Structure 1
Amino acid sequence: MSLFSTETVTFETPIAMLIACHDRVRQYADLTLKLAQHLIKEGVDAKAQDAATGILRYFNVAAPLHHDDEDLDLFPLLSQYGDAELQAIIASTSAEHETLGLLWQEVRGYLIPLAAGQGGSLPLALASEFSKRYPAHADLEENRIYPSAELLLDAPTLAAIGQNMANRRIQSSEKAL
């Protein structure tokens, strides 16, 4: 049985938690495309407003925490213990977080008025790009980086990563208050 089974996803299983987060990334990225298609057919309605609100909530809060989990905890450790190929993949993947963040800011600009019930639109081409790039990024991490964690990191190190992930969310929720 893999140490990273997603049957029981807690911060005690940080890689499984990251994969579960990727599942939500895929869900909300797909919802972004569906929202753009819905707006073309149905216009701005309560369903569109609810979808925009959900997408905003996820990508404004959870996605940045997820990137921090990788960029501040997992990736530095894997780079330290990995070979040159893994280090290069991690460097390019981490750099892509900034590019994806900029893409998110563009999408976000369209979602804010939609979520607020002020009307608006979401360009289909932009939503399509967003719905493809985020899942492709997640797939790359899951297929090329995460498997190395099981090989290179011991249980206490993984436990420390999980604790950092949990603490990051506690701090984030405290700031929100």
Structure 2
Amino acid sequence: MRMSSPPPSPAKSQNTPDPLQLLLESHQQMRKFAALAAQLGKARGKQPAELSEAASQIIRYFTLGMPMHAEDEDYSLAPRLFDVTLPPEVIKGLWEMARQHEDLERAVDELLPAWVAVRDTPERHRELAAYLTLGGRQLMSQVEEHLSMEEQRLFPLIRERLDEETLAVIAMEILDRRGQLA
């Protein structure tokens, strides 16, 4: 009689993505849209439809994508890291990550009316250009500071401190937020 092996656990499945890779891909998106926000004010000579589309993409990312990313870290990653033994500086980094998410949300809330104005009435771009440029640069700086802190201080601990099953659960939660689960 042939013995069958047990089904693979979610952590060992070839179909379970790596949560660290998912988070890093999200960081690439955040950098991409922060750069687009920083460039929007300087987009002189663009057609109104191009300005409107760029503003629309920025709005979509910063009102949907960035909040999902913050939830990935605040609700899926941080609680699992708090469950394991961590040095005090890492615990401080986790609290700093959450605070920075709030700061980024405030920065987006400040810029959102200008992005909406350009999306809905691109003719106002010239009037808003200086504000968009300054605000976009500040946002890009905040984003880079935030992402660099996570990548240097927190992300190395993901594989070091969390077991395969926990990593699989985090990955599935991230995908679930994005509606990618079957």
Q: TM-score, normalised by structure 1?
A: 0.84
Query: Paired residue for 2:171?
Result: 162
Give 1 or 2 for the bigger CA radius of gyration: 2
**Which residue among 148, 151, 161 is the counterpart of 2:160?**
151
Between the aligned partners of 1:166 and 1:27, the Cα distance in structure 2 is: 20
CA-CA distance at 1:11 after TM superposition: 6.1
Between the aligned partners of 2:122 and 2:89, the Cα distance in structure 1 is: 48
Query: Paired residue for 1:7?
Result: none
Contact kept, 8 Å, 1:74 with 1:161, in 2: the verdict is yes
Q: Does 1:111 align with 2:115?
A: yes
Stretch deviating more after TM superposition (73-82 or 84-93) = 73-82
Between the aligned partners of 1:166 and 1:127, the Cα distance in structure 2 is: 29
* Counterpart code for 2:64: V
Contact kept, 8 Å, 2:49 with 2:122, in 1: the verdict is no
CA-CA distance at 1:48 after TM superposition: 1.3
Query: Paired residue for 1:37?
Result: 42
Counterparts of residues 1-177 of structure 1 (less than 5 Å): 12-38=17-43, 41-42=44-45, 45-81=48-84, 82-117=86-121, 119-120=123-124, 121-122=128-129, 123=131, 124-170=133-179
Contact kept, 8 Å, 1:11 with 1:165, in 2: the verdict is no
Q: Which has the higher contact order (CA 8 A, sep 6+)?
A: 2
Between the aligned partners of 1:21 and 1:53, the Cα distance in structure 2 is: 19
Stretch deviating more after TM superposition (118-127 or 157-166) = 118-127
Between the aligned partners of 1:69 and 1:11, the Cα distance in structure 2 is: 16
Contact kept, 8 Å, 1:89 with 1:145, in 2: the verdict is yes
Task: Using the aligned pairs only, state the percent identity.
Answer: 26
Contact kept, 8 Å, 1:93 with 1:137, in 2: the verdict is yes
CA-CA distance at 1:107 after TM superposition: 1.2
Unaligned runs of 5+ in 2: 1-14
For residue 121 of structure 2, give the secondary structure of its aligned residue in structure 1: coil
Contact kept, 8 Å, 1:26 with 1:134, in 2: the verdict is yes
CA RMSD of aligned residues (A): 1.8
